[in-house]
Amino acid sequence: MELRRPLSQEIVIELLPSKPFYPPFVDGRDREFSGYGPFVTVLVILRKVGNLQLSYEIFMDAVETHNDFTFFQGQSGLQTAYSLEKDHPGYLIATILTDAASGVQLLDTDPHLNSVAPSYGNLVKEFIIEGDRRGDDKPWVQVVFNPIKIKIIESPHAFLSRIRNQ
């Protein structure tokens, strides 16, 4: 006889940092911020995809604050962050219990990497941002996530199979 399993439980998961995301060039005479900004906005949203996966999407824009207003903007598309099947077979993701979004705004006037905490939301621990650099610019962001708390429930199929076998 299988030991009794909880019908639902709250678990904490650790997500790997995102890969760097490079928004595409949109407009401007050149691809150079020239020390004038950029003003960078980043938003990250975590979503439940189906009943077994968590995915995130990164939105970023970087706009030169002077001169020809060089502009980069884009979104990463959904990136799979976690799959429940491997660690908790027979369970489904019911809900995300922590914040599912974080964002930040930053005026980047130097050619160095910026490590910044989110302005809002506790999904993200740290944004690593490169906005302005020497020469042609190619802004990017990498996201380091906080631990994520989710509620999982036993799937109806797993539950029925378990009680039939008892």
Question: Region 20-29: what's the mean pLDDT?
Answer: 89
Which two tokens mark 109?
């006037």
Residues 6+ apart with CB under 8 A from 160: none
Residue ranges covered by each domain of the chain:
8-164
Of 61, 32, 57, nearest in space to 129 by CA: 61
User: Model confidence over 96-150: pLDDT tens digits?
Assistant: 999 999 999 999 988 889 999 999 999 999 999 998 777 778 999 999 999 999 9
Evaluate whether 147 touches 12 at the Cβ level (below 8 Å): yes
**Bridge pairing between strands 71-75 and 53-63:** antiparallel
The verdict on pTM exceeding 0.85 is yes
Residue 58 pLDDT class (50, 70, 90 cuts): very high
R_g of the chain computed on alpha carbons: 21
Lowest mean pLDDT: which of 49-58, 61-70, 129-138, 140-149? 129-138
Question: Region 88-93: what's the mean pLDDT?
Answer: 94
